[in-house]
Amino acid sequence: MTTKLLNTTCLTLLAAGLLAGPAAAEPLRIAIIEPFSGSQASSGELYAIAGKYGIEEINEAGGFNGAPIEVLEYDNGGTTSGAADKFKQAVAEGAHVILQGSSSAIAGQLTEDVRKHNLRNPGNEILFVNVGGEALELTGDKCQFYHFRFTTTAPMRVGALVQAMKEAGDLGTRVYSINQNYSWGQDMEAAIRAAASQGGYAVVEATLHDVNKIQDFAPYVAKIKAAEPDTVLTGNWSNDLLLLMKATGDAGLDVRFGTAFLDQPGNIANAGETALGHYLASPYNIAAGEKAFPEAYKAKTGHYPMYMEPQAVNGVRTLGKALEKVDFGGGEIDVTEIALALEDATLETDLGPITIRKEDHQAVLPVVVSRVEKGAAYTVDGTDMGFVPIKVIPGPDALYPVQDSCSMKRPG
Amino acid sequence: MRRHHLLLLVLVALPLLVLPPFLSLGLQNTLVSMLVAALFAVSFNLLMGQGGMLSFGHAAFFGIGAFATLHLMLAVEDGLGVPTPLLPLAGGLAGLGLGLVAGYFATMRAGVYFSLVTLALAELLHTLAPQWDGMFGGEAGMSSMRMPWGGLVFGSVLEVYYLSLAWVALCLLLLWAYTRTPFGRLTLALRDNEQRVRFMGYDTHKARLVVFAVSAMFSGVAGGLLAFSNEVANYTTFGMPVSAQVVLHTFIGGSTVFLGPVVGAAVLTLFAFFVSDLTRSWLLYQGVLFVLVMLYAPLGIGGIVELHLRHMRELRWRALAGPYLGAAVAGLLIAAGFVFVIESLAVLFSSDYAVLRRDAGGLPPFPFLGTEWQPLSPLTWLAPLLAMAAGGWLASRAGRRIAPLWDEARRVHTQGGETA
């Protein structure tokens, strides 16, 4: 009786093994680690929607390694320790790629987690695809082989803004720089100063202020008024941008804004007509490309791609290009090989190609400068206003030099 | 009584020692977070539950401990000869230092003013940290690596877990010993009647300062353990969520019992681990849980357990079993109905459903729990509401039967106490 049972068990196991043979292709697992709760939940949600859209595209084209790509979603709660916990959980659940976008602080945590994991687990590396963290140190001090950044940085946005606004005759010669007092705002201020000679302007004054704490920007507007600038350049986002623009409008100050995050959902609706004529530099603008992508996106997700959704999709698509070049024949996935292929990948977008700079893994991507106007092709926030593309600056022209602080250790 | 406690301790300690190697990596890491949260909550409760000082900014000491440990880790990386297992000590020292300075000012006042001073302190660090690159590493934070020591690599989560377990056990033991000292008794007196303590000749400001500093020190150790585990420290550690979390842990676990906060930390950390990836509404559930505990069991989970242990002999367990079972069923029914409504609403307001709605041009059935539900059908909403109503009815019935049994047990207990 026992032997019979044993035999059956053996046979079943054998059969299961045989059956599992062809189906045992290791699926690529992509972990999306974003805030799905707390104050940052809305942007985390957008990154997740865009990421999943891109992954679904790859899966519809046949997946990778003989299986559809698996998506794992984790809520980091908007804190770095939450992200560290979820990273470990993702590793435990077999993730190969981490996809993340909202918050440079969390990107900083994840890139370090990935670096240490890879040091300790040679042969089981993990790839970090950063689709939103813009802090310069991610490709500077913290740069590492397994981190790829698929978005712009402060110098890229400012350089593009200055060039396009100057050509449109809207820049003037006196520029006021106002930014949030932390790494991003400081990066922006440095970039605005650095672009002065290229743009032929003088920085009449530069202000750094508290991050998302100021309720009344009137004193700052008074300072701006006193400096008599033609243009205000700012990297402010969320309330800091909104309240600043509103206070400027209330004070009757006629000054042009050049911004980095004016397309954040809700901004235009909140600012109203005050926003008209202001500029935005961003990694993509659907109005500058073909109709196919926004329509396909809307059919799947219910809305046109907005804010940083297109750049996240492009990041995943570039990863898809790299995946096309590697073949593990259904066997074990070697992340290092994928990373090497990603270095050489090129994605043709409607606005121009996206490639990777090998020295620091910063994506070389076109930057679009747009102006808020009525009757745009894609109106936003339920208003009659939208972002009209003014100029597309090709990737290589928008790029900034590799930072000296980056010393990347390559595999092998 | 003592034997009970010992048995309980073994029952808790044994699985903590033996089980982890067999658990998944994610769960091992959650246990580390749980240990850190437990130590943090107990040290917070020394100030809150025993000292009667409600701090809304305990993240300050937790965070400073994390950064101090990380600075020491960086120094060790550069060749400083500090044994790796002793790293969290730096967190304790930094917590103590900051606790002495901040506590000197905070403990001058009591009540709401005390809470506000602590809140301001944490906010100050939270604002300062992202701008002070050298000290706090800017927005992206600081990062280091655990160095091997004494034949241990400290690379795996399991090694971190056992080290954390040792630290937390040691700290809890010290904190428990503290409550047994005469000064520990004085701490309780400070909470109950500060004026009387002053009339007895004690300098209450100094005494409160000591309590504050000790609490800050152990919070610093907890922060140090977090930095040790994550190998990164970042300004978000000073944030309000961290300060609020420890308050939640303590109140849900029960501030009147020494190990209450441990229970709260364990329950909520595990809750977050299992539920946060299942549903986006998990913070809502956590909040509802907090409100329910505050309304119906202000002693917290730990307090309830302790109450049962204390009345172990006097309670008529056989008579209680029925109503308790009824109450459990009632709780399940209410929870099921509530979760169903919330999750259905989450599906109905999701972007996926918006696409379905647009394609169907109306209100199509929504998928949930493997079947389709009609959003406008009364059945969809009546079923959970009925479940909740039935649960409420059952709960009130069970409550009416439980109350007299408890009254009786309490009466017997006090009488027994008088005769003994």
Q: Per residue in A317-357, pLDDT tens?
A: 999 999 999 999 888 999 999 999 999 999 999 999 999 99
Q: Is A203 helix (H, G, I), strand (E, B) or coil?
A: strand
| Domain carrying residue A44 | 29-152+289-364
Domain boundary among B239, B274, B289: B239
Confidence of residue B2 (pLDDT cuts 50, 70, 90): low
Q: Which residue has the tokens 């026992």?
A: A2
Locate B375 and state its tokens.
Answer: 């959003």
Q: What is the pLDDT of residues B329-380, one digit of tens each?
A: 999 999 999 999 998 888 888 877 887 888 887 888 888 877 888 888 888 8
Query: Do B37 and B180 have their domain in common?
Result: yes
Q: Is residue B296 part of a domain?
A: no
Which range, of A112-121, A183-192, A325-334, B310-319, averages the lowest pLDDT?
Answer: B310-319
Q: Do A99 and A244 belong to one domain?
A: no
Mutation site, B132, B234, B352, interface A, largest A CB count within 10 A: B234
> What is the β-pairing status of strands B232-233 and A347-349?
unpaired
B281-293 tens-digit pLDDT:
888 999 999 999 9
Chain B residues lying within 8 Å of A35, measured CB to CB: none
Based on the fold, state whether residues B234 and B320 are members of the same structural domain: no
Examine the domain organization and report whether A141 and A159 are in the same domain.
no
Q: Are residues B315 and B232 in the same domain?
A: no
- Check: CB of residue A92 under 8 Å from CB of residue B24: yes
Taking CB atoms and an 8 Å limit, are B140 and A36 in contact across chains?
no
User: What is the β-pairing status of strands A362-364 and A352-357?
Assistant: antiparallel
The answer to whether B375 touches B347, Cβ cutoff 8 Å, is no
B343 in the same domain as B228 = no
CA distance B219 to B43: 6
Task: Take residue A177 and report the two structure tokens written for it.
Answer: 């720089």
Number of residue pairs across A and B with CB atoms under 8 Å? 123
Residue B100 lies in a domain: yes
CA distance B241 to chain A (A): 9
Q: Which residues of A31-49 are buried (b: 16+ CB within 10 A; e: fewer)?
A: bbbbbbbeebbebbbbbbb
- Subunit contact B143:A138, Cβ cutoff 8 A: no
The gap between the terminal CA atoms of chain B, to the nearest Å, is 15
A129, A161: one domain: no
Residue A12 has pLDDT above 60, yes or no: no
**Given an 8 Å threshold on Cβ–Cβ distance, is B25 in contact with A91?**
yes
- For residue A303, list chain B residues with Cβ-Cβ distance below 8 A: 351, 354
Report whether B394 contacts B328 (CB < 8 A): no
Strand partners, B149: B152
Residues in A closer than 8 angstroms to B140, CB to CB, are 104-105, 107-109, 135, 137-138, 142, 183
The shortest CB-CB distance from B236 to any of A79, A107, A119 is to A79
Whether A1 maps to a domain, the answer reads no
The residue range of the domain holding B398 is 311-419
- B116 and B208 fall within a common domain: yes
Residue A32: is its pLDDT beyond 60?
yes
> Is A79 in Cβ contact with B241 (below 8 Å)?
yes
Residues A50 and A165 in one domain: no
CA distance B107 to A54: 55
Q: What is the mean pLDDT of chain A?
A: 89
DSSP state of A28: P
Nearest CA in chain B to A38: B283
User: Which positions ≥6 away from A12 have C-beta within 8 Å?
Assistant: none
Which residues of chain B are within 8 Å of residue A36 when distances are taken between CB atoms?
Answer: 280
Domain boundary among B211, B239, B267: B239
pLDDT-based confidence at B320, cuts 50/70/90? Answer: confident
Q: Which of A232, A233, A305, A293 is nearest to A263 (CA)?
A: A305
CB A231 within 8 A of CB A175: yes
Does B11 reside within a domain?
A: no
pLDDT in tens, A225-259: 999 999 999 999 888 898 898 888 888 888 999 99
Are A111 and A125 in a shared domain? yes
Residues B186 and B76 in one domain: yes
| Residue B267 domain-assigned (yes or no) | no
Contact criterion met (CB < 8 Å) for B237 and A81: yes
**Residue A94 resides in a domain:** yes
Residue where a domain stops, chosen among B239, B273, B302: B239
Same domain? For B321 and B233 the reply is no
Residue of A32, A52, A112 to mutate, testing the B interface (most B Cβ within 10 Å of its Cβ): A112
- Residue B418's pLDDT is 53
| B98 and B214 fall within a common domain | yes
Question: Do A343 and A244 have their domain in common?
Answer: no
Looking at per-residue confidence, does A269 or A355 come out higher?
Answer: A355
Instruction: Considering only residues A212 and A288, tell me which one the structure prediction assigns the higher pLDDT.
Output: A288
Do B31 and B132 have their domain in common?
yes
Position A405 in a domain: no
A81-106: pLDDT as tens digits:
889 889 998 998 999 999 999 888 88
Q: A391: pLDDT confidence band, cut at 50, 70 and 90?
A: very high
Other CB atoms within a 10 A radius of the CB of residue A24 amount to: 12
Judgement on whether residues B226 and B319 belong to the same structural domain of the protein: no
At residue B211, the pLDDT reads: 93
Domain for residue B112, yes or no? Answer: yes
- Torsion, Cα B198 B256 B249 B122, to 10 degrees, reads 0
Select from A36, A80, A181 the Cβ nearest to the Cβ of B234. Answer: A80
Chain A: closest CA distance from residue B24 (Å): 7
- Whether residue B230 and residue A109 make contact (CB cut-off 8 A), yes or no, is yes
Q: For A289-308, write each residue's pLDDT tens digit.
A: 999 999 999 999 888 999 99
Tens-digit pLDDT profile for residues B61-110: 999 999 999 999 999 888 888 888 899 999 999 999 999 999 999 998 88
Residues A162, A252, single domain; the answer is yes
What percent of chain A stands above pLDDT 70?
A: 94
| pLDDT category of residue A7 using cuts at 50, 70 and 90 | very low
Which residues on chain A are in Cβ contact (under 8 Å) with B355? 299-302
CATH number for A54: 3.40.50.2300
Instruction: Name the nearest CA neighbour of A205 among A167, A163, A234.
Output: A234
Indicate the residue of B231, B276, B351 with minimum beta-carbon distance to A116: B231
User: Is A107 in Cβ contact with B355 (below 8 Å)?
Assistant: no
Asked whether residue B252 is assigned to any structural domain, the reply reads no
- What is the pLDDT at residue B417? 57
DSSP reduced 3-state for A392: strand
Contacts 24+ apart (CB under 8 A), A328-333: A328/A26, A328/A65, A329/A65, A329/A66, A330/A22, A330/A24, A330/A25, A330/A26, A330/A65, A330/A66, A330/A67, A331/A25, A331/A26, A331/A65, A332/A26, A333/A26, A333/A28, A333/A65, A333/A96
For chain B, what percent of residues have pLDDT higher than 70? 98
Write down the pLDDT at residue A100. Answer: 95
| A170 and A117 fall within a common domain | no
Instruction: Please state, in angstroms and as integers, the Cα–Cα distance from residue B403 to each residue in B140, B216, B388, B407, B411, following that order.
Output: 54, 41, 22, 6, 12
CA A11 to chain centre: 51
User: Is residue A35 located within the same domain as residue A118?
Assistant: yes
DSSP-assigned beta bridge partners for residue A356 = A363
Cβ <8 Å between A92 and B236: no
- Among chain B residues, the shortest Cα distance to A298 is held by B355
Helices vs. strands in chain A: H and E counts, helices first:
14, 15
Which residues of chain B approach chain A closer than 8 Å at the C-beta? 24-27, 29-30, 33, 127, 130-131, 133, 138-141, 143, 145, 155, 157, 226, 229-232, 234-237, 239, 241-242, 273, 276-277, 280, 282-283, 351-352, 354-355, 358
Q: Is residue B231 part of a domain?
A: yes
Instruction: Quote the number of domains for chain B.
Output: 2
Considering CB atoms only, which of A37, A81, A182 is closest to B139? A182
Task: Evaluate whether A330 touches A65 at the Cβ level (below 8 Å).
Answer: yes
Residues of chain A with C-beta less than 8 angstroms from the C-beta of B351 = 49, 301-303
Cross-strand bridge partners of residue B142? B233
Distance from CA of B195 to the nearest CA of A (A): 39
Strands A385-393 and A174-180: unpaired
A233 and A187 in one domain?
yes
Parallel, antiparallel, or unpaired for β B366-368 and B371-373? antiparallel
Tens of pLDDT, residues B395-407:
999 988 888 888 8
Q: Do B138 and A38 touch (CB under 8 A)?
A: no
Mean pLDDT of the A202-223 span:
91
Residue-averaged pLDDT of chain B:
88
> Would you state the torsion angle of the CA atoms of residues A293, A298, A304, A309, taken in this order, to the nearest 10 degrees?
-70
Burial class (CB in 10 A: 0-12, 13-18, 19+), B389: middle
Query: How many domains does chain A contain in total?
Result: 2
Domain co-membership, A75 together with A206: no
CB contact under 8 A, A108 and B139: yes
Alpha-carbon gap: A21 to the closest alpha carbon of chain B (Å): 25
CA A222, A251, A275 angle in degrees (round to 5)?
Answer: 115
In a domain, A24, yes or no: no
Shared-domain flag, residues B206 and B321: no
A394-A400-A404 Cα angle (round to 5): 155
d(CA A59, CA A402): 34
Give the model's confidence band at A124: pLDDT under 50 very low, under 70 low, under 90 confident, else very high. very high
Q: Where are the alpha helices (DSSP H) in A234-291?
A: 239-250, 267-271
Is there a single domain that holds both residue A237 and residue A329? Answer: no
Q: Would you say residue B270 lies in a domain?
A: no
A318 within domain boundaries? yes
Is A15 contained in some domain? no
Q: Are residues B73 and B185 in the same domain?
A: yes
pLDDT band at B12 (very low <50, low <70, confident <90, very high): confident
